[in-house]
Structure 1
């Protein structure tokens, strides 16, 4: 049987693929782990291999830094050789990085099915490189692992065939469930080590190019931190690139009372997140983690591909507006105690996403599905038509659109294909 190929290249991908790789090993599935090296700094990548006890990559592409085009091209060139060398049954990647879009395109060009973990997320912001990457990846993917119902709905309305979508939950829940006791144990010790008291500080993360590469936006955000630091302790694990930009632009003056520290290991960071008053962030992953931990969040962006996090008021979008950042932060701090006691159903899943994804990958690897050309000799013209009651619209509407009577996504309706066959989807046009 051909192997499953898993491709990753950044810190978030390591974290979110850890439970998938663990489940593949439990199922004794032959797999290859490819590391692209998009994140090449040790503190931003290698330490996470150790913390999650992940195996050494079978192949490494030392892509390193560069423009989006350079990184994507380097990954595609290297990955093409590896796909031809190993002939995988299916190729899998997670998220929305240059590694993901390069993997999706290369797999398709090599005629190997691509499976996208965390499919269907949308910020609707095409200025954001990640939005471009995830939309391209979803367009060419054969298999879509949607983490939430909202992401599933996005895929349905973009015309993705329901039979290729799987509602799995988000693998970040797997990680937080598995390591929650470890994080709790490390929490008090780590807070003592860095000299912080529980629930007595604000945590900040800031790394997105739309903030760090825009002097006005970056300045506005740092001005808000300056104001907040007059009243609260602020700790800021700064991405190296963000720190360099702050220095280059002469904005360090706003951070005199802000404690800047180097990037942390994942469990140390979770300890800070779990015990802060509130978190200010432009990270999608941190929004998810904070929501799951019920930590009040202020997102330093004008949009989010994780709208589930805004439920119950746990996350507020502030953009780079200084006054709004300050106002929403103070508001979230005031609601923090109440938010931590909320009894809510987690929209990101139950902690078994990695198991579901691994089982589905196993099925596809056993079937050895292929990307093939369609045979349209009998119906060369594909058209679409509105339906009326005579076609049995009441019985087929739900499975086609993908919703049940409660308005919930439904992608495995009873007798789906039998009902779908009733719909005249194409015809041959006589001259």
Structure 2
């Protein structure tokens, strides 16, 4: 495959896709490549889609408008994107599809590209969850509210405290594995992701460590953000004491026991005197209603007044980043937010049993608070809050990820090695020509 008739199809479907794919889209265009933006329609609410497209200056060339549950999305995206790719080929083009991360859009987009035997670039490849070993987790649970900070911090940054094998987050861990299975270029954010891929048998020459394009997006947001806009609405955030608290993962918002523990932990933090910015995403809102927490939340808002800001997810990424940078600790079950916190130099606490951004654990910017008891979760958050002044870490993700990724694509186009084959893998291409 050469660059002459290549068409670069940048696929997005969710808010994180748009944020992280937009810098790659712009980089490709600035270098003169033929680029098309394909939106699958997975996220279609204004604050999850159009507002992000507008903010990052990208315009969709095609919207597949797929709707429905997970299986409907997979089948619909696969079928419609396959037809779209066939149309490009019929017109004489050679599509290179870029899918991002671990979303349903990424998985279905990879299926479509693989099925059509077209080139596939997996942006943010090799995301694999690391969870605490059984002994480490049991030790934390036994300590509960009496968590020993020094030993907890020491264990958190040691690689031998963590093990592979988790299927959570779900379906994200399934999605990323499927996307990797069909990829020609694995654009891994960090060396740890490369290690995971090599351990699983992927060809090392097909893997490039290129950083994470969230850094490019963050830089744009930092340059354009205005903290005063946030402070005009929420002046109490100006003292830098707030905890940004959000949960939206399916395993947390569809499991009543876990969700109740998470909400009880947030209430416990308020009772301890902490201030909380509670961001309610779509999954959060559904869980609040499904598990009868709406009146509880209203009572909490009345009881704690300005100490609790409870709000739906915001339209503006610039405001999101401005608010995050003003917080004392970010408490989340999001994957991308763990990355953003590392770059923003704000300590993070992850409300899951593990993380697929475990490089942030090892760096010392992120700490795990598994949803096993409200006492343990509240203790982890409180300890990180109390010790935040002594925390420091080297930023995990370098600048220029989009440029490095496009460099990796162009190198392969130049020597006609983007598509993986057994001849290529064994280094026999020159002999066979």
Task: Please tell me the TM-score bracket, short chain as reference.
Answer: 0.7 to 0.9
Partner Cα separation in structure 1 for residue 281 and residue 200 of structure 2: 35
Partner Cα separation in structure 1 for residue 81 and residue 414 of structure 2: 23
Partner of 2:30: 26
Partner Cα separation in structure 2 for residue 372 and residue 139 of structure 1: 12
1:117 maps to which of 117, 123, 128: 123
Partner Cα separation in structure 2 for residue 311 and residue 43 of structure 1: 33
> Are the aligned partners of 2:15 and 2:48 in contact in 1 as well (CA < 8 Å)?
yes
> Are the aligned partners of 1:111 and 1:371 in contact in 2 as well (CA < 8 Å)?
no
* Structure 1 residues 49-105: Cα deviation after superposition (integer angstroms, max 9, x where no partner): 111111x211111112x2221110000011011000112331111110111111111
Partner of 1:58: 61
Q: Structure 1 regions of 5+ residues with no counterpart?
A: 376-399, 401-415, 419-431
2:369 maps to which of 310, 314, 318: 318
> Are the aligned partners of 1:223 and 1:254 in contact in 2 as well (CA < 8 Å)?
no
Q: Say whether 1:190 aligns with 2:194.
A: no
Partner of 1:202, secondary structure, is strand
1:62/1:323 CA distance change after superposition, 3 Å: same
Partner Cα separation in structure 1 for residue 227 and residue 374 of structure 2: 31
Partner Cα separation in structure 2 for residue 78 and residue 211 of structure 1: 31
Question: Offset at 1:159?
Answer: 1.0
Q: Say whether 1:211 aligns with 2:252.
A: yes
Q: Say whether 1:143 aligns with 2:185.
A: yes
Partner Cα separation in structure 2 for residue 115 and residue 312 of structure 1: 27
> Are the aligned partners of 1:23 and 1:355 in contact in 2 as well (CA < 8 Å)?
yes
Q: TM-score normalised to the size of structure 1? A: 0.81
Question: Offset at 1:348?
Answer: 1.5
Question: Offset at 1:253?
Answer: 4.6
1:188/1:338 CA distance change after superposition, 3 Å: farther
Question: Offset at 1:365?
Answer: 4.8
> Are the aligned partners of 2:369 and 2:381 in contact in 1 as well (CA < 8 Å)?
no
Partner of 1:29, secondary structure, is coil
Partner Cα separation in structure 2 for residue 133 and residue 244 of structure 1: 23
- 1:79-90 pair list within 5 angstroms: 79-87=81-89, 88-90=94-96
Partner Cα separation in structure 2 for residue 121 and residue 31 of structure 1: 26
Partner of 1:291: 342
Question: Offset at 1:367?
Answer: 5.8
Partner Cα separation in structure 2 for residue 243 and residue 63 of structure 1: 23
- 1:221-240 pair list within 5 angstroms: 221-230=262-271, 231-240=273-282
Q: Say whether 1:301 aligns with 2:303.
A: no
1:368/1:30 CA distance change after superposition, 3 Å: farther
1:270 maps to which of 304, 321, 345: 321
Partner of 1:36: 40
Higher RCO, Cα 8 Å, sep 6+: 2
Partner Cα separation in structure 2 for residue 71 and residue 42 of structure 1: 19
Bigger Cα Rg: 1
- 1:169-188 pair list within 5 angstroms: 169-183=211-225, 186-188=226-228
Partner of 2:187, secondary structure, is strand
Partner of 1:332: 384
> Are the aligned partners of 1:226 and 1:254 in contact in 2 as well (CA < 8 Å)?
no
> Are the aligned partners of 1:96 and 1:130 in contact in 2 as well (CA < 8 Å)?
yes
When structure 1 is superposed on structure 2, of 196-205 and 209-218 the one drifting more is 196-205
* Structure 1 residues 233-276: Cα deviation after superposition (integer angstroms, max 9, x where no partner): 21112113311221221123543134321211211111111111
Partner of 2:141: none
Q: Say whether 1:353 aligns with 2:401.
A: yes
Partner Cα separation in structure 1 for residue 57 and residue 229 of structure 2: 22
> Are the aligned partners of 2:363 and 2:394 in contact in 1 as well (CA < 8 Å)?
no
Count the aligned residue pairs: 371
Q: Say whether 1:247 aligns with 2:289.
A: yes
* Structure 1 residues 375-400: Cα deviation after superposition (integer angstroms, max 9, x where no partner): 8xxxxxxxxxxxxxxxxxxxxxxxx9
Partner Cα separation in structure 2 for residue 254 and residue 148 of structure 1: 42
Question: Offset at 1:363?
Answer: 4.2
Partner of 1:126, secondary structure, is coil
Partner Cα separation in structure 2 for residue 352 and residue 360 of structure 1: 13
* Structure 1 residues 91-130: Cα deviation after superposition (integer angstroms, max 9, x where no partner): 1111101111111111111010211000111013225210
Partner Cα separation in structure 2 for residue 58 and residue 224 of structure 1: 44
Q: Structure 2 regions of 5+ residues with no counterpart?
A: 130-164, 302-307, 429-433
> Are the aligned partners of 1:90 and 1:365 in contact in 2 as well (CA < 8 Å)?
no
